[in-house]
Amino acid sequence: MADGPSARRAPLGQISDMDLRLLRVFRSVVDCGGMAAAELELNIGASTVSRHIKDLETRLGLRLCSRGRAGFALTPEGAHIYAQTAQLFAAADAFRAGVDEIHQRMGGELQVAVFDKTASNPHAHIARAIALFSQAAPDVALSLHVGTLTAIERGVLDGQFQVGIIPGHRSSSALDYLPLFEEGMLLYCGAGHPLFGADHGALDWESIRAMRFAGLGYHSPNMEASQRLRLRRVATGFDQESIATFILSGQFVGFLPAHYAASFEAAGQMQAIAPHQFHYDCAFFAITRHAPAPTRATRLFQNCLAQAHVA
């Protein structure tokens, strides 16, 4: 009888402890951006790292990455395996946290992701919340990530992060939202721009619409504001740093958090354009996955965030 697709044996078969070890090495290599950097993270030699990656490729029957003079890069198959690996270890962390729940102890890891450029916001007291949490749960290994709004939402939904801190821009029935603080966004131009140092008294939104505008290229308060105000985006960034760089070129106007732009203003590199007129505010929330129910460590971190941001 001829072998059909249903009769073919899966290349991986049972997942062994060695497979998990190889996947951990692979995850570290991707997170570090290459084998040389992963060598320090894993505390093993580069040749051993390379051999582990080759062993994993053989085990999976897939080419996961290219390495050589051109640098390290994931193949499409490698990117897919990396995403699956992140979900696998997130599920393992959830299992371990569940066991800790049964034993009424707080240990394991807590993965928290924060939207970029929040540390300088005087209304954000995330560092205070971390101090409260670390004092209350010293045995929990806390990891802090910085990511885009979309990546944080997806990571919380996938279980990669237990808590995300993001600006509110839309609601998902799969997420719970805890209000934390607000952020003021002002419109800026850079040195060399026609508006820099000019009189802004006669400006209106119609005048701004004639300017070259740099905005974020994903769903966010920035995108919502630019669409609501009918600002045509001609330059696209994917974090606050890229928007600041566009503004500093002197060719574009764009919105930035006032606390983040303050250092550029102090250095004479950037100027807020009629801040009483061209501005908007956005609220930040801590997000957690609605189901399964959050662990004791996650609930404690939420409480610490709420306590740190009490008005």
The CATH code belonging to domain 12-82 is: 1.10.10.10
Q: How many CA atoms lie within 13 A of 74 on its CB side?
A: 16
List CB contacts of 150: < 8 A, sequence separation 6 or more: 218, 219
User: Which part of the chain is CATH 3.40.190.290?
Assistant: 182-283
CA 276 to chain centre: 31
Which stretches of the chain score pLDDT less than 50? Answer: 1-8
How far apart, in whole angstroms, are the C-alpha atoms of residue 130 and residue 112?
Answer: 10
HEC profile of 150-204: HHHHHHHHHCCCCEEEEECCCCCCCEEEEEEEEEEEEEEEECCCCCCCCCCCCCC
How far apart, in whole angstroms, are the C-alpha atoms of residue 309 and residue 311?
Answer: 6
> Does 3.40.190.10 match the CATH number of domain 86-179+284-308?
yes
Q: What is the pLDDT of residue 6?
A: 44
Q: State pTM to two decimals.
A: 0.69
Q: Distances in Å between the alpha carbon of 172 and those of 169, 218, 282, 290?
A: 10, 16, 17, 10
Q: What is the pLDDT of residue 59?
A: 87
Q: Indicate the residue type of 30.
A: V
Indicate the burial class of 168 (C-beta count within 10 angstroms; 0-12, 13-18, 19 or more).
middle
Question: In sequence order, what are the beta bridge partners of 109?
Answer: 141
Q: What is the pLDDT of residue 87?
A: 86
Q: What are the tokens at 279?
A: 């501005």
The 10 Å Cβ neighbour count of residue 291 is 7
For the packed helices 17-32 and 76-102, what is the interaxial angle rounded to 10 degrees? 120
Provide the phi-psi class of 72: left if phi over 0, else alpha when psi is between -120 and 50, else beta: beta
Question: In sequence order, what are the beta bridge partners of 112?
Answer: 144, 163
User: Which part of the chain is CATH 1.10.10.10?
Assistant: 12-82
What does the pLDDT look like over 189-199, one tens digit per residue?
Answer: 999 999 999 99
CB 158 within 8 A of CB 90: yes
What does the pLDDT look like over 211-240, one tens digit per residue?
Answer: 999 999 988 999 999 999 999 999 999 999
Q: What architecture is domain 182-283?
A: 3-Layer(aba) Sandwich (3.40)
The 10 Å Cβ neighbour count of residue 135 is 9
Q: What is the pLDDT of residue 105?
A: 61
3-state DSSP helix/strand/coil percent for the chain, to nearest 5? 45, 20, 35
